[in-house]
Structure 1
Amino acid sequence: MPKRILLAATLMVASPAFVIAETTAHLNDEAKILIKQFATSLKGELVSAIKAGGPSNAIAVCEDRAPAIANSLSESSDWTIGRTSLKTRNPDNAPDAWETKILKQFEGLKAAGNPVEPMSYAAVVEEDGQKQYRYMKAIPTQEVCLACHGKQLNPAVVEALEAAYPQDQATGYSAGDIRGAFTLSKPL
């Protein structure tokens, strides 16, 4: 088994996302594949829901299907997969201290003029005596997201959000903002 080392990861915004030791390089690839699967599945279901019944119909998809997709991918891999944000809609997705730090770094990079799409960060961290590989990928706010996350929301969307997420903080975004991040971890 290859020797694993504790890394001090470096945040980058250009491809490749950052340089890591060869012993964990394959984990970056695994994380990217899982994110693509999650994002593709979720986006497909959201688009279908919007076509079938408008933006308020998509709220149920985020409430029910997003956690189900994350759980399914987590169960079929050795990873824990989810989404988080500095402005959460679902309090179950609140960031931990490490995720908060990375999300704030992403925001700082965006404020400095860097594009959101390539932002990612990974590191080997030790938590409670267990080493974990942690990876985050920024989620840029797209035009379609604004129907439920934007500044001007349809009253039906507001009503559906208040019913599903009484503690919602995830509105007021503009296209190109950092909506949050995919967050993955894997024990080493």
Structure 2
Amino acid sequence: MKALLRAALICTLPFSTTLSADDHFAQRLQDSREAVQSFARALKGNLQSVLQKKGPAEAVEACSSIAPLIAMTKSKSYSWKISRTSLKLRDPDNAPDTWERAVMEQFEARKTKGEDVSKLEYYEVVEMDGNRMFRYMKAIPTLEKPCLTCHGSNLRPDVAAALDKHFPNDKARGYKAGDIRGAFTIIQPL
């Protein structure tokens, strides 16, 4: 009887370890989703406030300082790297690395096949500089409002001038509602 119990215990040990690892992985995914939602809410709330109080040209100036500050604050609060990136950059500091570029190209292919942009996400564990990292990306859909105010084709002259002043190498214009504007990206050390 003891031998049978010992055998049963030995047989279930690998499964309990796997379940624990899967639970840990699922928790990282959930935490990443929550971090992205928190980042998006903070960014959108700040931008909408400035848009309503001061207008779109002032929102460009606010965005140039607010967005990096939000990314830094969220990164510190989670002890991860949390940022945004795009295939059409506004701020060169947000340039994608090789992994991010490949994921965004995958997002574009999935969008072309009909997937809902607001549901596009990707995650995996990768090796970076000899360390295992959990990486997560969530596509940023372009909405009619407020996104196209500063990212569309028909920009007001004062908005275009503010963009030229704050982002002289801006490529993040000409979007249409439903396009992939970029992506939130997270790196969590394991």
TM-score (norm. length: structure 1): 0.88
Q: What do the CA deviations read for 1:137-177 (whole angstroms, capped 9, x no partner)?
A: 00000111001000111000110000000000000000010
RMSD: 1.5
1:132 and 2:144 aligned: no
1:187 is matched with 189
Assess if the C-alpha contact under 8 Å between 1:86 and 1:95 holds in 2. Answer: yes
> SS at the partner of 2:138?
strand
Q: Look up the equivalent residue of 2:113 and give its one-letter code.
A: A
Q: What do the CA deviations read for 1:20-54 (whole angstroms, capped 9, x no partner)?
A: 93331100111111111111111011001111121
Gaps of 5+ in 2: 1-15
1:172 is matched with 174
Aligned positions of 1:76-155 closer than 5 A: 76-143=77-144, 144-155=146-157
Cα distance in 2 between the residues matched to 1:30 and 1:182: 13
Aligned positions of 1:28-107 closer than 5 A: 28-107=29-108
Assess if the C-alpha contact under 8 Å between 1:74 and 1:81 holds in 2. Answer: yes
- Higher Rg of the two aligned structures: 2
Cα distance in 1 between the residues matched to 2:108 and 2:17: 34
2:22 is matched with 21
Give aligned pairs, total. 172
Assess if the C-alpha contact under 8 Å between 1:3 and 1:23 holds in 2. Answer: no
Assess if the C-alpha contact under 8 Å between 1:46 and 1:58 holds in 2. Answer: yes
Identity, in percent, stands at 47
1:159 is matched with 161
Gaps of 5+ in 1: 5-19
- Distance apart, 1:3 and its partner CA: 6.6
Pick closer, same or farther for the CA change 1:3–1:159 going to 2, 3 Å: farther
Cα distance in 2 between the residues matched to 1:110 and 1:151: 21
Moved more, 47-56 or 20-29: 20-29
Q: Look up the equivalent residue of 1:133 and give its one-letter code.
A: F
Cα distance in 1 between the residues matched to 2:114 and 2:182: 17
Assess if the C-alpha contact under 8 Å between 1:85 and 1:93 holds in 2. Answer: yes
Q: What do the CA deviations read for 1:122-147 (whole angstroms, capped 9, x no partner)?
A: 00000111110000000000111001
TM-score (norm. length: structure 2): 0.87
Assess if the C-alpha contact under 8 Å between 1:134 and 1:184 holds in 2. Answer: yes
Q: Look up the equivalent residue of 2:91 and give its one-letter code.
A: N
